[in-house]
Amino acid sequence: MPLPLPVLPEGVDPAWLPPAAFRAVGSRRTLIRGSAPLVETVHGEVAQACRRFGGRVVRGVVPDDAYDLVLDLGTEGQESLADEGFTCARERGTTTVTASGGRGLLYGLFHVVRLGDAAFTGERARETHRPALALRMLDHWDNVAVHPVMGQVERGYAGGSLFWRDGRARGELDRVRAYGRLLAACGINAVSVNNVNVHAAEARLLTDRIGEVADIAGALRPYGIRTHLSVSFAAPITLGGLSTADPLDEAVRGWWAEATRRVYEAIPDFGGYVVKADSEGQPGPFAYGRSHAEGANLLAAALEPFGGTVHWRAFVYDHRQDWRDRTTDRARAAYDHFVPLDGEFAKSAVLQVKHGPMDFQVREPVSPLIGAMPRTRLAVELQATQEYTGQQRHVCWLGPMWSEVLRFRHEHDQSVGELARGGLVAVSNAGDDPFWTGHPLAQANLYSFGRLAWRPDAEPRAVLDEWIGLSFPDAPPQVADGLHAVLDGSWRTYEKYTAPLGVGFMVQPGHHYGPSVDGYEYSPWGTYHFADRDGIGVDRGVKSGTGFAGQYGEPWAGLYASPDTCPDELLLFFHHVPYGHVLKSGKTVIQHIYDTHFEGVEEVEEARSVWASLAGQVDPARHARVAERYEEQLRGAREWRDQVNSYFFRKSGVPDGRGRRIY
Amino acid sequence: MPLPLPVLPEGVDPAWLPPAAFRAVGSRRTLIRGSAPLVETVHGEVAQACRRFGGRVVRGVVPDDAYDLVLDLGTEGQESLADEGFTCARERGTTTVTASGGRGLLYGLFHVVRLGDAAFTGERARETHRPALALRMLDHWDNVAVHPVMGQVERGYAGGSLFWRDGRARGELDRVRAYGRLLAACGINAVSVNNVNVHAAEARLLTDRIGEVADIAGALRPYGIRTHLSVSFAAPITLGGLSTADPLDEAVRGWWAEATRRVYEAIPDFGGYVVKADSEGQPGPFAYGRSHAEGANLLAAALEPFGGTVHWRAFVYDHRQDWRDRTTDRARAAYDHFVPLDGEFAKSAVLQVKHGPMDFQVREPVSPLIGAMPRTRLAVELQATQEYTGQQRHVCWLGPMWSEVLRFRHEHDQSVGELARGGLVAVSNAGDDPFWTGHPLAQANLYSFGRLAWRPDAEPRAVLDEWIGLSFPDAPPQVADGLHAVLDGSWRTYEKYTAPLGVGFMVQPGHHYGPSVDGYEYSPWGTYHFADRDGIGVDRGVKSGTGFAGQYGEPWAGLYASPDTCPDELLLFFHHVPYGHVLKSGKTVIQHIYDTHFEGVEEVEEARSVWASLAGQVDPARHARVAERYEEQLRGAREWRDQVNSYFFRKSGVPDGRGRRIY
């Protein structure tokens, strides 16, 4: 039975799967071979497209030559494709996709959809497609109950949760299924359905409320997506009534084994646990004098018999730091905590590391931890939700930033994309907003994440082309040009009007939206710029500073060690320099601050007018929402510019070289 | 029937009415004459004291000479005492209190209680006591429903509301009655029971929920306290279904008249309305092109037939100011808005003016508006709840500050205490905390407010002596010394470690607890210090500044005009000066900042150790609570010191003259 497509509620944006994206497939004759649950998903997709565009689809073992497209779930000679790979070729008027697993066939279909008419013209040599990373995951920071501070979705800027509302599962499984379909179309294959900060209501998803998780898993399964769950390390106490959560305690191990067995009874293909332990107030193994490897291995042991994995987050640092103490450096913390444990993590444990050493700033160096744990499965965590990058009110396409991170080569010439053997994870930016991501253009971040997780060395502009082609299938060419114009440079634009030269954290405390240069300067969060009347930046060098630069291998340790060799964009992350320090660009630090802040605003003004020129050429609802957000972005960018420039002018006393207005 | 005393729940502190405070009265023979509801209150008080301490009390018209105390509600020859005055005299072994109103008799009884044994020794010439101000009021900023940002009590630091919980009246009327008893004992005679920011649930107290207010009024009435209500100017629309709230609209006037008539049906001695209009988002007459006098007179007209009063707050300013705009000055706003309306307010309207031109900072000049509206009944508003003065975690006895305000003499030699013909009002600092005010020593603020409202020229240290005598009746003399040591200078101590030289608003945005020097610097709230690397302060002079100093009469306008004559403690409020500016104290501004911040912390350390030395000599629960709060105060004071000193050192580059540690 072909699986019917989920029906979207009235007014919900189709994102990158509008009906018109299926015109090429839907107007042709398709043969589907093979049998597996996901083949029904594939059949449903093609059948729906054919209904709309007049094509035909049949199943069975019949000759290929009467068909434009053959989708073939074979079983022989395709071991190398595993579950997710596929091949695509075209000869003698027939395009053939082969796969050995249901996911592969689904991904192959979406590949053909992306190609559009090009999939059905000329000849195509056989290409084999396999994901570079086996796990391509979204972590939803969704709360079941509305948290008094964090709301329904922690750091959520796209409405409510797709899964939960006011303490309950929403049960709107068609919307969940539609979400899974979008994720499958960009290659995502795993979703964690609740916040890593596991509050009381959320903790119970593991036990008596597992049925609610099973319903979500059932809606995502037809799109090849496994469901994961964030759990509390203290669950044996809070849920099990034990007196300890010590990972070496036999009763604790037994409790987790039994709890996990029941989870798999409810969800046979359950993906595993996500754990934030000993971090920002969450419980963890430190309370029992145990290491994080011992903590992670406890859960790995419970999951291993069922093929599940524990994702253990490396985001562990002192969030009660004294700002007076310049010897402690939060940037060092993950490395200091975890490198000594390399080799001690079990096979079913994945250490999940944020891409930078701090916390998803618009500019950070790549975490040195990623290059320093060869005997540990690492997953790299990105942030699709724009906590520090404009909160989906500002356009900030993160594809180029993520690509830089993934292509960054640690010592022994291994890129982050290669080192992330445990997968690539993003904190989700999706919610029940009609546009899924609040800002319609933020859909590009979600799409780009999936595609970069599939192929970390992909060219981000090419990924953006895919997204544009799918999302705006009938638009004239100037729409694609316009979208590139407003998206390509948007990350650097955002960087320009917010945080100069890698300094970070000049944001409003708590909610992190809008400028506050000293907002985190005297805080316990380990986030400082040390600006005084003479200069700014954090000395993280080995000789005179915190030593963080020494956590890198070469060539980075050497490059970061000196302000003369440190890349400009990270200068203030690694060094405290006078305002008059001359950058490689030839400008002084202070003039760079002024210039980039003026430029950033000008670039937003320009992007806004490019967007305005697209009126009438894109869907009116999308156009209106983006136009409205540009007003807020421009207001925000001006506020950033004026506050940051005024702050540094008042502190440095150095006038702008071009005499522009600073308050 | 003597009114039984309210029974306090287990563990609730008796504040300044512990049983032992009644020993002198309770161990003697008392005769009570007269008939009125409040005479039953007086009888109940004396009867309870006699039960405890072995005295006797009788009622009736019998000869005085067998009695130690005669409480005489007479009707002849005492017109001048009005409802609240009383006389007290002692001759031939009998102490006699006379009054012509029930409140007067009650206040007279509490006067005798305060005197203790001294009331019953020797002779006492007849003294007449009358309140200088007819209205002595507390404004509770209590929300009926828990507000998502402001909670149950806006700016409340003493637990929940005494009146409301989770959207309903608590109905714990014995606790309300006990509260009224405490207030009567310090002379307070009016309470407004809900927040001036009137949210949806609270608005309905005026109409269908008036019964809940009537219950509270019933509990407060036996202590001579009239109940007032904060109302929304938009009520005719939101509650009445009208299309306008225009104060000149006949239907609107009719709606208020009818609504008010119903209020008086439920509460015959209802005090009146409190209104915050056109301020911080509250609705008001500006929406209809009407003046604030027209707005206030609308409500005055509705209240006037019943003897009620509208308290119309003068706290009107632009809270969406652009920090870049140095010409707009929030300090000017109340004067600019209201002085042109002098003489236009109806008889039943009182204009309620905050004591300073900004917002309850630890140091502000006295509001020039208070001296500039001779033809308007003004009430002066103080803040007992310590929003900006340590939030009842820090000891900050405000008696001296309030006394300075009340004795401040505007032009024509009229003191604020004399100009406040409409009464003295304080935002309440009480809640359902076992100690009523969170910090047990903050009870002294509530008590001092009542007594200063009774007699604005009272010596605050004498008021504190009263409070100590009542609250710690059996304590050895070193307790009184210790309490003076920790309280007398506590306001100036708090000023020292927080905001130097009148600068204000260097606090964490939103909650206002803890330091953030730039917290309000780039905000829309009109609260700036303009510190740069060279100097600090706001030029509010007439020639080069905002002109605010010109709103004063002489001598103040002249004194404030120049940094040479401006009092040191207000220098940065009125002038922008270089860090090297030499104060009248002989110190530079920057050295003053450093010195006061170090001194402030030292004074907290000293106070904490004085308090520690009183262990065993005061009630253990009180001692423990205060001791615990001193730990937080000391932590907070050190944080203030280090952040403020570091901020100004980093900005000015001037080292501390005494070489102390600055970060």
The 3-state secondary structure of A12-52, one letter per residue: CCCCCCCHHHHHHHHCCEEEEECCCHHHHHHHHHHHHHHHH
Comparing C-alpha atoms, which of A436, A392, A353 is closest to residue A186?
A: A436
What superfamily does domain B495-538+576-652 belong to in CATH? Alpha-glucuronidase, C-terminal domain (3.90.1330.10)
pLDDT > 70? residue B280: yes
Residue B65's pLDDT is 83
Residue A566's pLDDT is 98
Could you report the per-residue pLDDT of B228-266, keeping only the tens digit for each? 999 999 999 999 999 999 999 999 999 999 999 999 999
Distance CA A456, CA A406 (A): 6
Q: B522–A531: do the CB atoms touch at under 8 Å?
A: no
**Chain A CB within 8 Å of residue B320 CB:** no
Residue A335's pLDDT is 97
User: Which residues lie across from A273 on neighbouring strands?
Assistant: A229, A310
pLDDT > 90? residue A161: yes
Residue B116's pLDDT is 97
Q: B19-129: what CATH class?
A: alpha beta
DSSP state of B515: B
Q: Among A229-233, A248-252, A277-281, A649-653, which stretch is predicted with the lowest mean pLDDT?
A: A277-281
Q: A522–B531: do the CB atoms touch at under 8 Å?
A: no
Between positions 520 and 559 of A, the ones with CB within 8 A of B are 522, 531-534
Query: What is the arithmetic mean of pLDDT over A489-494?
Result: 98
Q: Are strands B349-354 and B309-313 parallel, antiparallel or unpaired?
A: parallel
pLDDT > 80? residue B79: no
Residue B76's pLDDT is 65
**Chain A CB within 8 Å of residue B653 CB:** yes
Query: Does this chain's domain A19-129 share its CATH topology with A136-471?
Result: no
| Chain A residues within 8 A of B579 when measuring between CB atoms | none
Return the structure tokens found at B513. 């607890």
- Mean pLDDT estimate for chain A: 97
Return the structure tokens found at A390. 């404009």
| Chain A residues within 8 A of B647 when measuring between CB atoms | 518, 522
Q: B522–A651: do the CB atoms touch at under 8 Å?
A: no
Could you report the per-residue pLDDT of B65-76, keeping only the tens digit for each? 899 999 999 866
Band (pLDDT 50/70/90 cuts) for residue B77 is low
Residue A404's pLDDT is 98
Q: Are strands B190-192 and A151-153 parallel, antiparallel or unpaired?
A: unpaired
Return the structure tokens found at B359. 């917002």
**Chain B CB within 8 Å of residue A516 CB:** yes
**Chain B CB within 8 Å of residue A208 CB:** no
* Mutation for testing the B interface, residue in A146, A326, A518 having most B CBs under 10 Å: A518
Find the closest chain A residue to B639 by CA distance. Answer: A522
**Chain A CB within 8 Å of residue B516 CB:** yes
Residue B217's pLDDT is 98
> Smallest CA–CA separation between A198 and chain B, in Å?
22
> Smallest CA–CA separation between B564 and chain A, in Å?
25
Q: Kindly state the percentage of chain B with pLDDT values over 90.
A: 97
Beta strands in B124-163 (DSSP E): 124-129, 136-139, 142-147, 151-153
**Chain A CB within 8 Å of residue B518 CB:** yes
Find the closest chain B residue to A531 by CA distance. Answer: B650
Domain-by-domain residue ranges, chain A? 19-129, 136-471, 495-538+576-652
CATH code for the structural domain at A136-471: 3.20.20.80
* Mutation for testing the B interface, residue in A327, A508, A533 having most B CBs under 10 Å: A533
DSSP state of B18: -
Q: B516–A518: do the CB atoms touch at under 8 Å?
A: yes
Residue A80's pLDDT is 83
Distance CA A14, CA A11 (A): 9
Return the structure tokens found at B148. 């998502």
Tell me the catalytic residues of A: 280, 359, 387
Query: What is the arithmetic mean of pLDDT over A621-647?
Result: 98
**Chain A CB within 8 Å of residue B401 CB:** no
Band (pLDDT 50/70/90 cuts) for residue B412 is confident
CA B48 from chain centre, in angstroms, equals 30
Q: A653–B534: do the CB atoms touch at under 8 Å?
A: yes
Distance CA B532, CA B653 (A): 11
- SS3 state of residue B304: helix
Q: B651–A323: do the CB atoms touch at under 8 Å?
A: no
Task: Write down the residue that tokens 């740069």 correspond to.
Answer: B532
pLDDT > 90? residue B643: yes
Could you report the per-residue pLDDT of A78-136, keeping only the tens digit for each? 668 999 999 999 999 999 999 999 999 999 999 999 999 999 999 999 999 999 999 99
**Chain A CB within 8 Å of residue B323 CB:** yes
Under a CB-based contact definition with an 8 Å cutoff, are residues A42 and A110 in contact?
A: no
The backbone region for A411, taken as left when phi is positive above 0, alpha when psi lies in -120 to 50, beta otherwise, is beta
> Smallest CA–CA separation between A532 and chain B, in Å?
4
Residue B13 annotated among the catalytic residues of the structure? no
- SS3 state of residue A500: helix
**Chain A CB within 8 Å of residue B149 CB:** no
Q: B136-320+329-461: what CATH class?
A: alpha beta
Band (pLDDT 50/70/90 cuts) for residue B546 is very high
- Among the options B45, B68, B359, B466, which is catalytic? B359
Q: Kindly state the percentage of chain A with pLDDT values over 90.
A: 97
Find the closest chain B residue to A536 by CA distance. Answer: B650
Distance CA A423, CA B414 (A): 77
Q: A650–B533: do the CB atoms touch at under 8 Å?
A: yes
Chains A, B: CB contacts under 8 A, how many?
Answer: 50
Q: B323–A650: do the CB atoms touch at under 8 Å?
A: no
Distance CA A327, CA B360 (A): 39
Under a CB-based contact definition with an 8 Å cutoff, are residues A428 and A471 in contact?
A: no
Q: For the packed helices B443-454 and B173-186, what is the interaxial angle rounded to 10 degrees?
A: 50
Comparing C-alpha atoms, which of B379, B394, B269 is closest to residue B315?
A: B379
* Nearest CB neighbour to B663, from listed A324, A517, A653: A324
**Chain A CB within 8 Å of residue B262 CB:** no
Distance CA B638, CA B650 (A): 18
* Nearest CB neighbour to A533, from listed B324, B515, B651: B651
| Chain A residues within 8 A of B324 when measuring between CB atoms | 642, 663
**Chain B CB within 8 Å of residue A60 CB:** no
Residue B602 annotated among the catalytic residues of the structure? no
Could you report the per-residue pLDDT of A348-403, keeping only the tens digit for each? 999 999 999 999 999 999 999 999 999 999 999 999 999 999 999 999 999 999 99
Q: A522–B323: do the CB atoms touch at under 8 Å?
A: no
Burial class for A207, CB neighbours closer than 10 Å (0-12, 13-18, 19+): middle
Residue type present at position B418? E
Query: What is the arithmetic mean of pLDDT over B118-143?
Result: 97
Q: B522–A516: do the CB atoms touch at under 8 Å?
A: yes
**Chain A CB within 8 Å of residue B325 CB:** no
> Smallest CA–CA separation between B51 and chain A, in Å?
50
